[in-house]
Amino acid sequence: MLEWLALGAYAAALVAAGLTDLVRYEIPNGASLVLVAAFGAIVPSLSLPAAAAHVTAGLAVLAATAACFALRLMGGGDAKLLAAAALWMGWRNLFAFIVLTALAGAFLGLALLLLRWCLPRACAAGRWYSRLLSPGEGVPYGIAISASGLALLPLLALGGTAGR
């Protein structure tokens, strides 16, 4: 039962992170903290080697994303969210998660470029999505991270975390 509640918290945190990044270009720290805390709830159900594999995968992604943040290649919220979601993936699912995130981010970026090119600025003026459609704005990558994490939720729910 606790594992299902943890998976629900995982899904809710990713949805919240994606939506706030969409609307405000900001990922609340609370979303990443919920992901980490919810993972902590399932750690007792994992073997020690499996738990260690998840933690080391999350820490490796945190180190890589912290370096990307320091080089101004990604935002801090994106870095924390990616690392917190990687904690859930472990080494077993990390490659699929990273590739899926990259593909979702590429699709999102291309869609925004197309929309920014096709739609006149006047149609978005004063709307919640005006920043999203403004030329020169970045891509709210939390949407891609969240979509990838949610796409892999069935895999996690079916025992995709090694060692259960």
Q: Are 140 and 128 in contact (CB under 8 A)?
A: no
**DSSP result, the chain:** -HHHHHHHHHHHHHHHHHHHHHHHS---HHHHHHHHHHHHHHGGGS-HHHHHHHHHHHHHHHHHHHHHHHTTSS-HHHHHHHHHHHHHHHHHHHHHHHHHHHHHHHHHHHHHHHHHHHS-GGGTTTSTTTTTTSTT----THHHHHHHHHHTHHHIIIIISTT-
Distance from C-alpha of 85 to C-alpha of 76, rounded to nearest angstrom = 14
Non-local CB neighbours of 29 within 8 Å, separated by 6+ positions: 77, 80
- Name the band, by pLDDT with cuts 50, 70 and 90, for residue 162: very low
Q: Cα torsion for 91, 92, 93, 98, to the nearest 10°?
A: 40
Locus of tokens 């935002």: 75
Q: Are 99 and 145 in contact (CB under 8 A)?
A: no
Per-domain residue ranges of the chain: 2-103+141-160
- Condensed to tens digits (0 to 9), the pLDDT of residues 44-56 reads 999 999 999 999 9
- 143: which 2 tokens? 């949407």
Average pLDDT over residues 137-144: 95
Per the document, the length of the chain is: 164
On the question of pLDDT at 114 being above 70, the answer is: yes
Residue 27 neighbours by CB distance under 10 Å: 27
Higher pLDDT, 59 or 122: 59
- Name the band, by pLDDT with cuts 50, 70 and 90, for residue 164: very low
